[in-house]
Amino acid sequence: MELDDLRRQWQQPAPPGPALDAGQLSSWLARGSGGLVARMRRNTHWEQAFTALVMVGAAVLWASSTQLIYRFYAVVLLGLGLGMFYYYYRVLAVLGQMAAADGHLRGHLQRLSAGLRQLLRFNFRLTLAMGPLALFSLLGYAVGRELARPGGFRSGRVLVVGGVLLALGALLQLAVAHLTRRYLHQLYGRHLDRLDANLRELDEPGLGA
């Protein structure tokens, strides 16, 4: 059976073992993994479209606003959007490699799975880093307004505002971490888990007998 042949191919040592050709690997990924590559690629394209809309909104905000704080947020969003497009480029490149066997099946798929998970961790950490950045920018804006007041600087008010922002920021950070983890798992993680499960299945003796 084809699955038995794949299992034997998988269990062969990497250097001397013959690699699957691109057609065989593409066929296995399409049938054995339920089209996970196409699903993750489609999810990435949806993310690209959403990021493009956010960047358009940020450009409109920058052009229509005269306040420095809003222009600062617009610039941050534009820079983040450019960085995310590079991230999407890397994700699509890794997904594209899943259709081309460049070595032994074991090492090829393990490298791809590990590479995608590394990119997802980068996305997760970048998202979490946006929380403190927004918090400090809001605090800086509040301090700047106090310094510009004709009546003088109110340190007590700044401390209260800072404490409120810190408490809200901590709660929001926990919520963002939870939601981002679920979001990335829904779009990519569950498909990678399924791929890893299929790879472990190929390692099981007597499969398909």
Question: 100 pLDDT band (50/70/90 cuts)?
Answer: low
Mean pLDDT computed over 77-85: 91
122 has a pLDDT exceeding 80: yes
209 has a pLDDT exceeding 50: no
Report how far residue 46's alpha carbon sits from residue 38's, in angstroms, rounded to the nearest whole number. Answer: 12
Residue 116 domain-assigned? yes
- 144 close to 161: Cβ distance less than 8 angstroms: no
**Which residue matches tokens 């946006």?**
130
Residue 152 domain-assigned? yes
Residue 140 domain-assigned? yes
Residue 209 domain-assigned? no
Mean pLDDT computed over 17-32: 49
3 has a pLDDT exceeding 50: no
The full length of the chain comes to 209
Residue 102 domain-assigned? yes
- Residues of the chain with pLDDT > 90: what percent? 24
The pLDDT of residue 46 is 93
What distances in angstroms separate CA 200 from CA 110, 111, 196, one per listed residue?
A: 11, 15, 6
**Amino acid symbol at 136:** F
- Residue 95: give the domain boundaries: 2-203
Residues contacting residue 32 through CB under 8 Å, at least 6 positions apart: 3, 198
The helix/strand/coil state of 118 is helix
Gyration radius (Cα) of the chain, Å: 24
- 195 close to 109: Cβ distance less than 8 angstroms: yes
Residue 117: name the closest of 171, 173, 187, 67 by CA.
187
Q: What is the mean pLDDT of the chain?
A: 77
pTM score, whole prediction: 0.71
47 has a pLDDT exceeding 90: yes
The helix/strand/coil state of 98 is coil
Residue 208 domain-assigned? no
Task: Give per-residue pLDDT as tens, 163-191.
Answer: 888 888 889 989 999 999 999 999 888 88
Handedness of CA 20, 23, 24, 28 (dihedral sign): positive
What distances in angstroms separate CA 80 from CA 86, 91, 111, one per listed residue?
A: 10, 16, 27
Question: 124 pLDDT band (50/70/90 cuts)?
Answer: very high
The pLDDT of residue 48 is 94
- 20 close to 9: Cβ distance less than 8 angstroms: yes
Residue 25: name the closest of 16, 39, 13, 37 by CA.
37
The pLDDT of residue 202 is 63
152 has a pLDDT exceeding 90: no
Residue 188 domain-assigned? yes
- 51 close to 85: Cβ distance less than 8 angstroms: yes
Name the domain count of the chain.
1
